[in-house]
Every structure is written in C-alpha cells, then in structure tokens.
Amino acid sequence: MKYAILGDIHSNWEALTTVLEDAASAEVDSFVSVGDIVGYNANPRKCLAKLREMDCPIVKGNHDHYCSIETPLNGFNPLAASVIHWTRNQLAEKDRQFLADLPYKRRVDKFTTVHSTLDMPDRWGYVFDKFEADANFSYQRSQICFFGHTHVPLLFERDENGNVSQGRYELIDVKPGKKYFINIGSVGQPRDGDSRAAYAIYDTDAKTIELRRLKYDRETTQGKIIDAGLPEELAYRLARGH
C-alpha cells in the first residue's frame, strides 16, 4: 500500500494539483492530510473542495481551526491573522463546519497523524528539536506518526533505549524496534529554504518513506495572492521558501 501524506496545503491550488499529479504517476493508492488545508494562499474553497472530493483522512490544523470559528486571533502574527480573516469570509458555512468537525489526531492503517504534537494536539506546539519531539513520543503508540505545522521536513527517531535523534531525510528505511515522528514538509508554503512543494510517500510493503519535492507554477499562485488583495509578503515568501 502506498500512501501520499500531504501537509500544510494552505490554499495553494497550483502546488496541490502538481503534487496530486506526481502522486498519481507514483501509483499512490491512498491520500492522507495532516491539516492546514486553508490559510496563506488564495484558493481555500478550491483546495478544500478537492480534499473533500478525495474523501481522505484529515486532521485539523491551527489555520483550519481558526478559519472555522469566529474567535480573536491573539498570538498570531499580523500576516497570518489578516489571511485568516480573509479566508473566513471566503468559506461557506458548510466548509467552516467541515473544518470545525475535523479530529486533532487520527489513526490510519498502522500509523498516526497529527498537525502539531500528540501530547497536546490542540495547543499547536512547534516541534523543531528532539527535546520537543520527546514529549510527543511518550504519547505515540504507533511506530510511525506523521505531522506538519512547522513546514520544515524533519525526521525524529527514537531507538529501543529511548534515545531520540533528529535530522533531514530524503528516504527513510523503517526499522523494527524504532519509532518515527516525521514532518513531511508543506505542499503550499515550504519554509526550509527550498521553494518546491513537499510531500511524502509511505510505502508500507517496501517499508520506506520518501520525501518528494516538486516545482510548481508559483508565479500563478503569487499572482492570485496579489489579485486577492492579500499581503504581498505572502507572495514573496513563496519564492524564498521561507
């Protein structure tokens, strides 16, 4: 079975369709989303409609959450907050309800998915280092858990003795006795200095997890951001991948 794990699509239609085409050519059987379908870019309705049509398991991201309810946006940076206001107005009531009803974590097959961390999935903590990953591992019952939120692809690995290591990855060979907490990067707004869309393919027979990076029609995405009157910085950052 081959799963495509998609994270932080963030209303980026061009990146999403490019990733779906690549997944089709890689003969993926199933799709899974680790949340943040909306926010930042200019096609929230289209991206959400596509994900709903795909009928795949999805967990709730912080943008999905804040776009689905009318609540003050304390703690958000001004850029993110202005897009959340804009996105709320773009979405129909049924879209907002769909996002509001998403679970924070989800078991799929033999693995787990969460947007931020399993220890406090509704607190939206960021995992950038192995100390932050440690708390997650104490709640991780499955061998593999996929997450997003930071938009930075990273692998955290815990061995039989409880030692956690971290690093970048391109291809992971899943080994018995180890636990994996894997950030699969962002489809719609990469932040690791590489502007290409990111997602991962988990092959449960080969026991491999491959990170895939793809160029997409970024200029069109940037043009839509400007045309929608969203902050121009959101277009520039797509080029920086940051």
The binding site for Zn ion (CB under 5 A) comprises 8, 36
Please say which residue, 76 or 139, places its beta carbon nearer to Zn ion. Answer: 76
C-beta of residue 33 within 8 angstroms of C-beta of residue 87: no
**Which residues, in sequence order, are bridge partners of residue 112?**
107, 145
**Positive or negative CA dihedral for 52, 60, 110, 176?**
positive
DSSP classification of residue 204: T
Q: Which is nearer to Zn ion, 14 or 64 (CB)?
A: 64
Closest separation between CB of residue 75 and Zn ion, Å? 14
> Nearest distance from residue 137's CB to Zn ion, in Å?
22
Question: Each residue of 146-158: b (16+ CB within 10 Å) or e?
Answer: bbbbbbbbbbbbb
Task: Give the nearer residue to Zn ion in terms of CB position, either 2 or 50.
Answer: 50
CB of 7 to Zn ion, least distance (A): 8
Nearer to Zn ion, 8 or 132 (CB): 8
The closest residue (CB) to Zn ion is 36
Q: Between 8 and 157, name the residue whose CB sits nearer to Zn ion.
A: 8
Shortest distance in whole angstroms from residue 92 CB to Zn ion:
22
Sequence-distant (6+) residues with CB within 8 A of 234 are: 40, 41, 79, 83, 225
C-alpha–C-alpha distance, residues 159 and 143, integer Å: 11
3-state SS of 159-181? CCCCCEEEECCCEEECCCCCEEE
Nearest approach in angstroms of CB 149 to Zn ion is 6
Give the span between the Cα atoms of 3 and 212, in whole angstroms: 13
